[in-house]
């Protein structure tokens, strides 16, 4: 055959992120507006075990009251459970349920780990079935809710296996935050602090001024809605035109240049404190800001402001892994591979405004460690 062919197409993507108050109140029909509307409606609900402690009975009552044929699958959250075993278990449960391909959306209720695993299962099963996301943690509300990435960890690397697959809708119910403990709330603030330092000085000012109140009140205070809205809006602005990551210069990767391997190793290394994702991101934010300082962009006072704000949000500001130059280099080199051979390191040139650098050296990493050790003791 002499002919060659070229196929060119574009995949239209549109999905909504909607606020919904008391989404599992029996009077609230938001979830039920999606999928088939026949008399014998069926739904598979995947529920985060930690959230089930508070809402299992409520969710059961919701679907019973609305005459839905349903099955609940419980999944453990936590980064250590974001693995192939959980993915395969979920796929088996989907198969047992006999899920229809197009009109019976899976309903994922939980934190980022559960939402990512369900998203990946949804894109794999029958080459794609619809799903609905209902994030229940602060981190998943402000971060996972916007992105289309799904994934699991593999070979002790974060999100090494994954896909891009959007839900048909994401529902945000801020009342779920009250179920979180202090550590879970601070983890969510790690991603919010990231957006504030790299992109939004107004958001940073809010965190700096009200950080302690935001944390202690579990975001039940006068400025909480603005903080959440600014965080989501910032994520939307950065992701909307680059959902498939064709451009690997991404401001949202701030805080994710050194932290991924450090976070994963903290889970298995009993000699250091285990880090949640948001905590690891916050530590990376501080370290990367110190790089900005040695390059004469951020001032010393700026670094101190960032550290003090992190403390107000009950985020850790020190971890021994961020003083290990070889570990930092290992993590950064792995990140460079993920960024297709370029550093594309986002660093703030001032709070709320950033640039990318591609010439960071090992010597600068070592110099940054010295500054990092100094500023955290201020």
- For the chain, the structural domain boundaries read 16-179, 182-241+249-375
pLDDT for position 269: 85
The catalytic residue positions are: 149
Query: Tell me, what's the pLDDT at 294?
Result: 97
CA distance 187 to 167: 24
Q: Quick one: tokens of 138?
A: 């602060």
Cβ-Cβ contacts under 8 Å for 126 (sequence gap 6 or more): 99, 101
Contacts of 362 (CB under 8 A, 6+ apart): 325, 329
pLDDT at 1: 66
CATH number attached to the domain at 16-179: 3.40.50.1970
Q: What is the pLDDT of residue 95?
A: 97
Q: Where are the beta strands (DSSP E) in the chain?
A: 16-19, 42-48, 69-75, 106-110, 131-135, 149-154, 157-164, 169-172, 345-350, 353-357
For residues 353-367, average pLDDT = 98
Neighbours of 310 (CB within 10 A): 25
Pair of tokens at residue 211: 């950080």
Average pLDDT over residues 272-278: 93
Query: Is residue 193 over pLDDT 80?
Result: yes
How far is CA 345 from each of CA 107, 161, 258, 276, rounded to the nearest angstrom? Answer: 36, 23, 10, 22
At residue 2, does pLDDT exceed 80?
no
Q: What DSSP designation does 354 have?
A: E
What is the dotted CATH code of the domain comprising 182-241+249-375? 1.20.1090.10
Tokens 């991924």 belong to residue: 260
């Amino acid at each position: 055959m002499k002919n060659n062919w070229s196929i060119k197409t574009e995949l239209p993507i549109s999905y909504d992120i909607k606020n919904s108050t008391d989404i599992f109140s029996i009077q609230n029909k938001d979830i039920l507006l999606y999928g088939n509307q026949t008399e014998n409606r069926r739904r598979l609900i995947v529920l985060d075990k930690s959230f089930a402690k508070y809402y299992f009975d409520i969710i059961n009552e919701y679907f019973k009251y609305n005459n839905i044929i349903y099955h609940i699958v419980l999944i453990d959250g936590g980064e250590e459970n974001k693995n192939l075993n959980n993915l395969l278990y979920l796929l088996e449960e989907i198969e047992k349920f006999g899920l229809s391909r197009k009109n019976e959306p899976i309903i994922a209720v939980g934190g980022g780990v559960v939402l990512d695993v369900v998203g990946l299962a949804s894109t794999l099963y029958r080459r794609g079935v619809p799903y609905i996301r209902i994030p229940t943690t602060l981190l998943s509300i402000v971060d996972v809710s916007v992105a289309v990435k799904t994934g699991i960890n593999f070979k002790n690397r974060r999100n090494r296996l994954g896909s891009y697959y959007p839900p048909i809708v994401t529902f945000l119910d801020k009342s779920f935050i009250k179920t979180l403990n202090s550590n879970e709330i601070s983890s969510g603030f790690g991603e919010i602090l990231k957006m504030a330092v790299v992109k939004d000085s107004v958001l940073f000012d809010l965190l700096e001024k009200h950080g302690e109140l935001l944390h202690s009140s579990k975001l039940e205070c006068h400025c909480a809605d603005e903080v959440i809205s600014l965080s989501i809006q910032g994520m939307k602005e950065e992701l909307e035109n680059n959902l498939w990551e064709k451009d690997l210069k991404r401001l949202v990767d701030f805080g994710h240049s050194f932290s991924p391997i450090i976070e994963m190793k903290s889970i298995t290394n009993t000699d250091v404190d285990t880090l949640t994702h948001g905590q690891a991101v916050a530590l990376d934010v501080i370290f990367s800001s110190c790089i900005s300082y040695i390059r004469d962009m951020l001032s010393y006072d700026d670094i101190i402001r960032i550290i003090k704000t992190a403390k107000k949000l009950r985020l850790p500001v020190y971890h021994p892994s961020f003083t290990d130059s070889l570990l930092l280099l290992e993590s950064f080199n792995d990140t460079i591979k993920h960024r297709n051979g370029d550093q594309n390191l986002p660093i703030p040139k001032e709070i709320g405004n950033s640039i990318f650098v591609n010439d960071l050296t090992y010597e600068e990493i070592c110099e940054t460690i010295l500054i990092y050790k100094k500023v955290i003791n201020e």
